[in-house]
Amino acid sequence: MIKGIELLIPIIISIALLTLGERKVLGSIQRRVGPNIIGYWGLLQPITDGVKLILKEAIMPNKSNYWYFLIAPLATFAISLLLWAVIPFNNDIIIYDTNYSVLYILAVSSISIYGILYGGWSSNSKYAFLGTMRAISQLISYEVSIGIILISVITLNSSFNLIEILNSQIYIWNIVALWPIFMMFIISILAETNRTPFDLLEAESELVAGFLVEYSSIIFAAFYLGEYGIILLMSTLTSILFFGLPGVSIFTLLIVITIIWIRATLPRLRYDQLMNLGWTKILPLSISYFISIFSIIFICQLS
């Protein structure tokens, strides 16, 4: 338990700094000044934002389902922290080492949809409910593609264990053989984490703020931290699966910057374009690539 707390505290600090880093990168891309008043180079800005949200009043909609309304953001944040349990920071530092860590990530990440579901449904708002319905179909669609992509990585490395996947990349990275899969994985995690150009759950021009429209104060912050926690985790997972680097590495930071860069440059897709991309392009391509990898490995083993 002490080991888990020792690792979770730096993770929470990293999530807070990620919010600052995003604002800094967006400011640079858009040629404007980002946060630079609170602390040196604005480093204390996440703390002041957190204190502001804690001190603000938590407004509860009159017709909301009270307990589900409160539990939803807390569950989302808790699930984002649970996912870090099987992430190796090196071969020795890991909270929970299991031979099925990839399956654990798939199982726990699929539960996170319930936080969004309860948040939108319990708000009793049309905008929130429509955002929730979009979220369910979007996350289910792209989780299928992510699952197929992970099966390709597992097949290539012959293991469900992230540490063994790391060790199998000592001489050559997985990205060499899985470059198309890597590109599809980046697109899929953008959809899975509700990032631009797939942020249709919170589309301001259509749904005001989607499933977050009725949230405020610390319960809004819990949703916010949960979302950024999953972004950082997915970037770390990408670094592990394709570059063989544990923990928060240079490639993790590059992937995070790429996600922010995409937010600053690409317009939001229409919802039908989002679903069409997932079901008619990424899913068939990921299945085809998996079949190719499996066939090549099978033929090599026979020979």
Q: Which domain holds residue 119?
A: 60-302
In sequence order, which ranges of the chain are alpha helices (DSSP H)? 2-29, 45-55, 66-82, 101-111, 113-122, 126-157, 162-167, 174-177, 179-192, 204-207, 217-243, 250-265, 271-277, 283-302
Contact 119, 69 (CB under 8 A): yes
Residue entry with tokens 């997985």: 174
Looking at residue 117, what is its pLDDT? 83
> How many domains, the chain?
1
Alpha carbon distance 91, 21 (integer Å): 28
pTM here is 0.89
Residue 191 counted as domain residue: yes
- Cα 82 versus chain centre, distance: 13
Looking at residue 2, what is its pLDDT? 64
**For residue 94, which of 208, 213, 6, 185 has the smallest C-alpha distance?**
6
Residue 69 counted as domain residue: yes
Residue 19 counted as domain residue: no
3-state DSSP assignment of residue 256: helix
Residue 17 counted as domain residue: no
104's CB contacts (< 8 A; 6+ apart) are: 85, 86, 98
Task: List per-block mean pLDDT (blocks of 10 residues) for the chain, which spans 303 residues.
Answer: 69 84 87 82 84 81 80 86 85 80 88 82 80 83 89 88 88 88 91 82 66 81 85 91 84 89 86 87 90 85 74
Contact 233, 247 (CB under 8 A): no
Looking at residue 285, what is its pLDDT? 92
Q: How far are the Cα atoms of 31, 67, 82, 136, 143 from residue 112, in angstroms, in the given order?
A: 36, 17, 11, 10, 12
**For residue 19, which of 211, 188, 232 has the smallest C-alpha distance?**
232
- Cα 146 versus chain centre, distance: 12
Number of other residues whose CB lies within 10 A of the CB of residue 256: 23
Residue 250 counted as domain residue: yes
Amino acid at 28: S
Residue 104 counted as domain residue: yes
Looking at residue 206, what is its pLDDT? 63
Looking at residue 26, what is its pLDDT? 87
Residue 37 counted as domain residue: no
Residue 137 counted as domain residue: yes
